[in-house]
C-alpha cells in the first residue's frame, strides 16, 4: 500500500521531464546550434572572399585559406552536433516532440 504513492509520483515526474526537455531543446539548444552553424558559414564565406580578393598577396591568401579551413571544420562539427541531438532524441523517444 505504501508503494503506490511513490509510483504515482514517479509517473508525474516523468511527464514533467517529457514536457520540459523538448522546450529546452527547441528554445535554447537548437537556436544555439543554428547560430554557431551560421557563424561557421560566415567564416567560410569570409575566407573565400579573402582568398579570391587578394590574389596577389600571398599572406592574405594564406589567411583566407585558414578561414576556409576553420569554417569547414566548424560546419562539420555543427552537422555532427545536430546528428548527435537527433540520435539522443530518437533514443529516448523524444523525436516526435522535437519536430525531427
Which string of DSSP letters, residue by residue, matches 7-69?
HHHHHHHHHHHHHHHHHHIIIIIHHHHHHHHHHHHHHHHHHHHHHHH-SS-HHHHHHHHHHHH
11 pLDDT exceeds 60? no
First to last CA, the chain: 42
Residue 60 lies in a domain: yes
Say how many domains are in the chain. Answer: 1
Computed over every residue of the chain, the mean pLDDT equals 81
* pTM for this prediction: 0.72
Percent of the chain residues past pLDDT 90, beyond the cut = 35
Question: Could you tell me the residue range of the domain that residue 73 belongs to?
Answer: 4-91
| 99: in domain | no
pLDDT of 98 reads 53
- Report pLDDT digits (tens) over 25-57: 788 888 998 999 999 999 999 999 999 888 788
pLDDT tens per residue, range 63-85: 999 999 999 999 999 999 888 88
Contacts of 78 (CB under 8 A, 6+ apart): 33, 36, 37, 40
What sign results for the dihedral spanned by CA atoms 45, 43, 74, 67? positive
Residue 37 counted as domain residue: yes
CA distances from 92 to 7, 10, 32, 43, 98 (A): 20, 17, 21, 34, 11
The whole-number pLDDT of residue 38 equals: 95
For residue 17, is pLDDT > 80? no
pLDDT of residue 22: 75
Amino acid at each position: 500500500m505504501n508503494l503506490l504513492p511513490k509510483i504515482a509520483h514517479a509517473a508525474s515526474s516523468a511527464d514533467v521531464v517529457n514536457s520540459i526537455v523538448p522546450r529546452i531543446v527547441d528554445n535554447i539548444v537548437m537556436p544555439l546550434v543554428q547560430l554557431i552553424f551560421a557563424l561557421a558559414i560566415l567564416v567560410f564565406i569570409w575566407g573565400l572572399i579573402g582568398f579570391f580578393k587578394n590574389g596577389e598577396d600571398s599572406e592574405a591568401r594564406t589567411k583566407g585559406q585558414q578561414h576556409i579551413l576553420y569554417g569547414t571544420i566548424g560546419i562539420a562539427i555543427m552537422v555532427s552536433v545536430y546528428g548527435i541531438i537527433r540520435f539522443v532524441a530518437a533514443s529516448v523517444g523524444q523525436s516526435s516532440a522535437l519536430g525531427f
